Amino acid sequence: MKITERFEYLKKNDPDIYKWIMAETDRQETTLELIPSECAASPAVIEAMGSVLTNKYSEGYPGRRYYGGNEFIDEIEKIAQERAKKLFGVPYANVQPYSGSPANFAVYMALLKPGDTVMGQALPDGGHLTHGWKASATSIYFNSVQYHVKEDGYLDLPEVRALAKKHSPKLIWVGATAYVREFPFEEFGKIADEVGAYLAADTAHISGLIVGGAHKSPAPFAHIITTTTHKTLRGPRGGMILVTEKGLKKDPDLSSKIDQAIFPKLQGGPHNHQTAAIAVALGEALKPEFKVWARQVVRNAQALGEALVEGGMIIVTGGTDNHMILAECGKGKGVFMQDALDAAGITLNKNTIPKEPESPFYPSGIRMGTPIVTIRGMKEPEMKKIGSWIARVYKAVSEYVLPEGKEERTKYLEDFRSKIKKNDGLMKIRGEVNALCREFPLYP
């Protein structure tokens, strides 16, 4: 049965929502999804998400629920926990976080008091909001110290060490939302040990690469690992918190502190349909073919980066070690690239670059990744094609310059978006993209 044939009740009872689900399904099938924080869940994961498990309340943990009738829910959650522990090589896993940001905030609740000092990578330098960025609650309730990348785009480890020694943080985050090189977990572990801090590795983007053997694991060096489950783990939208052997050695009660932080401090009942879908995704990640896929994701990203450089573009750090590429487009031109590529059938996102000269709303770069195109079965030759299309779009938008005034920008972008819908070159690329997508269907 095709994935589009699974909605007979919805089609009958709510044709409006059915129509838009079908439209989104078609969009995903006929365009190239390159946003690196997105992935494509398997039909089995999607089936679990749409199950009757959504009907059940299950506050608490297996064997310790506040409602009756949870004997089968307990078994599902225990399977998810055991699979997570096996994949990451850790002694403890909490699979109840609703997503990555709640998982990260639970770490704060478990370890810190309001006003305690934390360190994280600055958002414009590729970090995540929840690592203490000024727009996040994590900087409102905690004293946040931000570290940066160097001019070459690599993490500035001497700065990290100097800031840690100066500010004595209780918690240091390593992990990012737009960093293309392998994370130096061992070095961060040493720095955290030097100042007596907890080290939390946020692996949201790379957890699938870690369990697939395509990226170093933080387990020997960090005390806590957090991750989403819907990026390279190829699961549903959700999160997990893992405690390592090192973490339990530092604090034998760390696991129970994490449990209490999730429930009752931050969340109510877990989403049981989500837990089951996470368990399915983790089961898929345990299969040998997942390792093959994870390594191909990295090879594809590297091939895509090479194609962009051949097309005249500049990519941050000159390459990538993971699933992601960050490309420079010129001051404020990320928005032009994102919208023009969208018109051409290629979806990615505008993004800040190191030492960003503009605001995050009009950044100078674009961020892209290869998980979904790799799921479709594409390899290096297809990455060359995709890279050449992106480079063609880059040249097509080179004439556009972002005005300085806010009102001028609004009108300029409106005119730009109107023009690109009629651009023959972009429409030609869209046709080529569509043909490639038909050759490599997302859900055969």
Is residue 2 annotated as a catalytic residue, yes or no?
no
Phi, psi for 402 (deg, rounded to 5): -70, 125
Out of 57, 141, 412, 443, the active site residue is 57
Out of 228, 275, 347, 352, the active site residue is 228
The pTM score is 0.96
Out of 33, 202, 339, 356, the active site residue is 202
The domain 288-439 belongs to what CATH superfamily?
Aspartate Aminotransferase, domain 1 (3.90.1150.10)
pLDDT higher than 90, residue 407: no
Kindly state the average pLDDT of the residues 385-401. 95
Q: Which of 194, 192, 201, 196 shows the shortest CA–CA distance to 226?
A: 201
Predicted confidence at residue 6, as pLDDT, reads: 84
Quick one: CATH architecture of 52-285?
3-Layer(aba) Sandwich (3.40)
Is residue 64 annotated as a catalytic residue, yes or no?
no
Instruction: Write the pLDDT tens digit of every residue in 107-145.
Output: 999 999 999 999 999 999 999 999 999 999 999 999 999
Cα–Cα distance, 437 to 434 (Å, whole number): 5
Strand partners, 278: none
Is residue 202 annotated as a catalytic residue, yes or no?
yes
Cα–Cα distance, 286 to 338 (Å, whole number): 35
Would 52-285 and 288-439 be classified into the same CATH topology?
no
Is residue 59 annotated as a catalytic residue, yes or no?
yes
Encoded tokens for 347: 């979806």
Instruction: Write the pLDDT tens digit of every residue in 162-186.
Output: 999 999 999 999 999 999 999 999 9
Out of 231, 333, 376, 430, the active site residue is 231
pLDDT higher than 80, residue 1: no
Q: Provide the residue ranges of all domains of the chain, joining segments of one domain with +.
A: 52-285, 288-439
pLDDT higher than 80, residue 254: yes
Out of 56, 78, 161, 237, the active site residue is 237
Is residue 57 annotated as a catalytic residue, yes or no?
yes
